[in-house]
Amino acid sequence: MIRRDYLIVGAGVGGASVCEGIRQYDKKGSVMMVGNEGVLAYSRPMALKQCLGRGSPKLEEAAYLPEAWFENERIDVRLATQVTQLDIERRIAVLSTGQAVEFRKACLAMGSRARRLPVAGASLGNIFYLRTARDVLALREVAEQEVAIVVVGGGCIAAESAALLSEFPKARVTLLHRGKHLWGRRLDEQTAAWLTDYFTARGVKMLMGETLNGFEGGMVLKNVQTKSGLRVPAGGVVTALGVDLNLGLVAGTPLGYPHGTPVNDFLETDEKGIFAVGDVAAYPDRHFGVPRRLDYFDGIVAQGQLAGANLTAKKRQRFEWLPHRKLSFFDLKFDFLGDFSKPPNRVEIEGDRAGKEFVVRYYQLDILMGILFCNQPAEVVQSAREELVNRPRELKKQAAWTLAQTR
């Protein structure tokens, strides 16, 4: 039997940063990290930009940590290997190689996969569900040749992909979204409308208010069909319709909730010694009183490093994180600070949308919930954090109460 002190399931940025956190406090404990992709952790946002950007992609620049780091730190990395079974009570995992591994503590970092809708033609050729660098490289090859590309979705990955694809010399890009505007669920109507128009001005055809019905073609895609009966010719499609969590390994257990593995402030599950980080982990957000999953790079690195430290038991830190997602495309750089999960009932704008430099504050019942920054320097974003972190004591109490009700 292979025995390890720590088992990390998933070798994405979540898993890799857990290894960093462990090694900060435990230099000797044996660590195994198992990942079913054939490569070490890399930044998926950077890979998307590299693979769809100008010039040949330099994927090595997207690597999160060099291979030498894992060797020097004696991390037993098993790539292209799946953890197929996990018995948490007996602390035994089975790998796709057939080996069994006995572990003392573990961290779940299995991430997520692009959602596939059960619509007609969903598995035709030239339909892309972006997750790995390989997926994006395959899309690039098609985008270099095909004229009509349709992006389906209205969130961050849809916006970023449509913007990058529109820079391909031959490509004519259409973005199809069931909402009235791009990012309409996150932003106020005027800002979402401004952003939608911005894409139009950059040559992307914006088909708003249209719901995907299915894909048509023989083996290979020909048209995208909408529920209203539109047929949009397409040589390639990107479907960016959200993600499904990779929780099959713990399905049917209290760690396998569809909305994420519940963890406490220390990122530990109800099973002592079993932690979870990244896309799969639902942690208590004390700032806003909601269970939250982080689905962006910087936050996951912070989570992984902290969970790793806590796994060693030489440190016990709470994960207190103000949500902060960064995103950039065209000549726009956005910082989303705070909570954008519910529509605001009041907004305040500073600056000028047309001038592409502005800040919007989002309120619910006069409580500041989130701040959107467009093309603002890091110092401006940093100094505004205090406004959200230092919200009145009563709000924090209320947040704690709401969280207690959701447990």
- The closest alpha carbon to 114, from 249, 231, 237, belongs to 237
> How many Cβ atoms are within 10 Å of 394's Cβ, its own excluded?
8
Number of helices and strands (H, E) in the chain? Answer: 9, 25
By the rule CB under 6 A, 274 interacts with ligand FAD: no
Instruction: Output the smallest distance, CB 300 to ligand FAD, in A.
Output: 5
Exactly one of 296, 321, 330, 363 binds ligand FAD (CB under 6 A); which one?
296
Beta strands in 179-289 (DSSP E): 205-208, 212-217, 221-226, 231-233, 236-239, 243-245, 261-262, 274-276, 281-285
Sole window of 164-172, 210-218, 296-304, 306-314 interacting with ligand FAD (rule: CB under 6 A): 296-304
Instruction: Output the smallest distance, CB 403 to ligand FAD, in A.
Output: 22
Residue (81 or 196) nearer to ligand FAD, CB: 81
Residue (140 or 391) nearer to ligand FAD, CB: 140
Sole window of 43-51, 167-175, 179-187, 364-372 interacting with ligand FAD (rule: CB under 6 A): 43-51
- Sheet-wide strand order for 236-239: 127-128, 236-239, 148-152, 172-177, 205-208
Sole window of 29-37, 250-258, 308-316, 346-354 interacting with ligand FAD (rule: CB under 6 A): 29-37
Residue (86 or 207) nearer to ligand FAD, CB: 86
Residue (34 or 148) nearer to ligand FAD, CB: 34
Positions in 89-128 near ligand FAD (CB under 6 A): 109-112
Positions in 151-210 near ligand FAD (CB under 6 A): 157, 160
Exactly one of 22, 32, 36, 368 binds ligand FAD (CB under 6 A); which one?
36
By the rule CB under 6 A, 384 interacts with ligand FAD: no
By the rule CB under 6 A, 21 interacts with ligand FAD: no
Exactly one of 7, 8, 13, 372 binds ligand FAD (CB under 6 A); which one?
13
The residues, ordered by sequence, that sit 6+ positions from 173 with a Cβ below 8 Å of its Cβ are 149, 150, 151, 162, 165, 166, 203, 204, 205
Exactly one of 6, 8, 10, 101 binds ligand FAD (CB under 6 A); which one?
10
Residue (173 or 399) nearer to ligand FAD, CB: 173
Residue (10 or 225) nearer to ligand FAD, CB: 10
Exactly one of 104, 131, 202, 353 binds ligand FAD (CB under 6 A); which one?
131
Each residue 341-380 as x (binds ligand FAD by CB under 6 A) or -, in order, gives ----------------------------------------
Give the whole-angstrom CA distance, residue 241 versus residue 113: 11
Residue 320 has φ and ψ, to the nearest 5°, of -115, 105
Bridge-based pairing of strands 357-364 and 367-374 is: antiparallel
By the rule CB under 6 A, 14 interacts with ligand FAD: yes
Locate 378 and state its tokens: 């890091």
Each residue 53-92 as x (binds ligand FAD by CB under 6 A) or -, in order, gives -----------------------------xx---------
**Distance from the Cα of residue 115 to its chain's centroid:** 12
Q: Please report, for residues 47, 60, 231, 257, 277, the alpha-carbon distance to residue 245 in angstroms, rounded to integers and kept in the order given.
A: 21, 27, 31, 10, 12
Give the whole-angstrom CA distance, residue 385 versus residue 324: 9
Environment class of 377 (CB within 10 Å of its CB; exposed 0-12, middle 13-18, buried 19+): exposed
Exactly one of 278, 284, 289, 344 binds ligand FAD (CB under 6 A); which one?
278
- Indicate the residue type of 185: R
Instruction: Output the smallest distance, CB 365 to ligand FAD, in A.
Output: 29
Give the whole-angstrom CA distance, residue 278 versus residue 286: 17
For tokens 């220390």, name the residue.
266
Give the whole-angstrom CA distance, residue 258 versus residue 291: 13
By the rule CB under 6 A, 130 interacts with ligand FAD: yes
Beta bridge partner(s), residue 372: 336, 360
By the rule CB under 6 A, 327 interacts with ligand FAD: yes
Count residues binding ligand FAD (CB under 6 A). 34
For tokens 């290894």, name the residue.
19
Footprint on this chain of ligand FAD (rule: CB under 6 A): 9-15, 34-37, 44-45, 48, 82-83, 109-112, 130-131, 157, 160, 246, 249, 278-279, 295-297, 300, 325, 327
